[in-house]
Amino acid sequence: MPIAEPLDPAQARRIAVVRLHVNGQAHAVAAPTHWTLLELLRYQLGLVGSKQGCDKGDCGACTVLVDGLPTLACLTLAVAAEGRHVETVEGLGVGGEPHPLQRLFAERGAAQCGFCTPGMLMSSAHYLDELGRADAPVIRRADIAAALGGNLCRCTGYTKILEAVEAAAQETCSRAQAIGDGPGGAA
Ligand code: FES
Ligand code: FES
């Protein structure tokens, strides 16, 4: 069996300064170049909502949005987030109010141990963003399941999660319709 080259200590200690926006705030964060975005968020910025589950791309518990797209933070090097806009579960609610997804997860019993919940919420938030941008949005359970296909849950059996996201989607569509129907609306 080949013997691995010993790690160059200078390389191992290499540090980079990563400039990025997290939940709307600009940061310049020093991090070892081998760190992942998940490590930067949790251990440098103290944002521990994104969970370190499998740490190898299987479970989705680390899902954040990078420039609006669901991204596994455990598989993304921190230096690759240079100049990006990152959203984590800590940034979902506004002004101390929970995001509708957070409210509905609580109301519908969609979180049990809660370990998968931050990743589920971020994937769901992206699904709602896409739905809100559609010209003629249609809510399909199969589309929600596909949007959450990379997020594993050991507790809920998924049904209550799908119900909560579906209810949030209905709220999103009703709100968009109310804006369209209102004074000055496009409808
Ligand atoms: S912790 Fe990233 S996919 Fe599991
Ligand atoms: S609520 Fe426990 S893993 Fe999903």
Query: In which residue ranges of the chain is CATH 1.10.150.120 found?
Result: 100-180
pTM for the structure as a whole: 0.90
CATH superfamily of 9-90: Beta-grasp domain (3.10.20.30)
Query: In which residue ranges of the chain is CATH 3.10.20.30 found?
Result: 9-90
Q: Give the Å distance between the CA of 63 and the centre of ligand 2.
A: 14
Structure confidence at residue 7 (pLDDT): 57
The gap between the terminal CA atoms of the chain, to the nearest Å, is 70
Quote the mean pLDDT of the chain: 92
**How many percent of the chain have pLDDT more than 90?**
83
Residue 185 DSSP SS3: coil
Q: Give the Å distance between the CA of 118 and the centre of ligand 2.
A: 10
For the stretch 88-147, pLDDT in tens is: 999 999 888 999 999 999 999 999 999 999 999 999 999 999 999 999 999 999 999 999
d(CA 114, CA 51): 10
pLDDT confidence band for 37 (50 / 70 / 90)? very high
Structure confidence at residue 6 (pLDDT): 63
Model confidence at 3: pLDDT above 90: no
Question: Are 31 and 24 within 8 A, CB to CB?
Answer: no
Asked whether 152 lines ligand 1 (CB < 6 A), one says: no
pLDDT confidence band for 182 (50 / 70 / 90)? low
d(CA 187, CA 179): 9
Residue 122 DSSP SS3: helix
The helix (run of H) or strand (run of E) holding residue 30 is: strand 25-32
The CATH number for 100-180, chosen from 3.40.718.10, 1.10.150.120, 3.50.50.100, 2.40.50.840, is 1.10.150.120
d(CA 62, CA 142): 23
pLDDT confidence band for 187 (50 / 70 / 90)? very low
Structure confidence at residue 96 (pLDDT): 87
Residue holding tokens 């069996």? 1
Asked whether 129 lines ligand 1 (CB < 6 A), one says: no
Model confidence at 21: pLDDT above 80: yes
Give the lowest-confidence range in 25-29, 45-49, 62-66, 171-175. 171-175
Instruction: Tell me how crowded residue 93 is: count the other CB atoms within 10 A of its CB.
Output: 14
